[in-house]
Amino acid sequence: MTRVLLTGFDPFGGSAVNPSWQAVSLAAADPPPGLTVTTARLSCAFGTALDELRAAVDRDDPEVVVCVGEAGGRPGITVERVAINVDDARIPDNAGRQPVDGPVVEGGPAAYFSTLPVKRCVAAVRTAGIPASVSQTAGTFVCNHVFYGLAHLIATERPALRGGFVHVPYLPEQVVDRAEPSLPAATVAEALRAIAIAAASTEADVRSAEGAIH
């Protein structure tokens, strides 16, 4: 049994829900065969979220970590390729913090690549009939903060751990008054199960053209 930790976030930005936590909860309630899936709900707050992530990793000792966050406006599941060492918040986090042009980790490298098989994860979600793509940016808000913090933890303290970040669209109930893409939580949970299986089954990625022109 491969131990997988899935994390989601609290609601933020005035929303009553966060699709990441809803989907993570559903995925863990019906885990794929061969996987032991645990969860952690992270605060949408700089610093605090990393403390909570570290506590969950210490508690569960996972072999794979998939952190999940909301990316409103994106039409499908996006598996992040790279985390950058920048906190630059356009809006305050849930604790009222709004760092601008600061590092996630002082003295850390400029960026880390995901240690998940990113393209294989995307292919697994597409095989499940759900839209998915590789993303070249996780933004500069708390999602990227957590992604970078996880990658730094892996690089400096837990080299056997593999982990990365996945962004998911709005839920339908979040966009009833505006024309923006969304996916039901159950569909996103199915995608997360596919990603967990792909991430747990192999470290080797597939070679396919998934780059971005801009």
Distance CA 100, CA 91 (A): 10
What does each C-alpha distance from 210 to 5, 19, 79, 140, 181 come to in angstroms? 26, 25, 11, 22, 21
Under 8 Å between Cβ of 185 and 194: no
Local structure of residue 104 (DSSP, 8 states): S
Give 9's contacts (C-beta < 8 A, 6+ positions apart): 18, 20, 21, 41, 42, 43, 44, 49, 68, 69, 70, 142, 143
Annotated active-site residue 167? The verdict is yes
214 is catalytic: no
Are 174 and 74 a contacting pair, CB within 8 Å? no
Out of 44, 67, 121, 143, the active site residue is 143
Q: Would the CA dihedral through 191, 207, 69, 165 be positive or negative?
A: positive
Q: Give 135's strand partners.
A: 80
The DSSP string of 116-154 is S-HHHHHHHHHHTT--EEEES---SSHHHHHHHHHHHHH
Marked catalytic residue, from 44, 67, 70, 80: 80
Catalytic residue among 70, 121, 145, 167: 167
End-to-end C-alpha distance for the chain, whole angstroms: 40
Q: Is 80 a catalytic residue?
A: yes
Query: CA-based Rg of the chain, rounded to a whole angstrom?
Result: 16
Please list the active-site residues.
Answer: 80, 143, 167
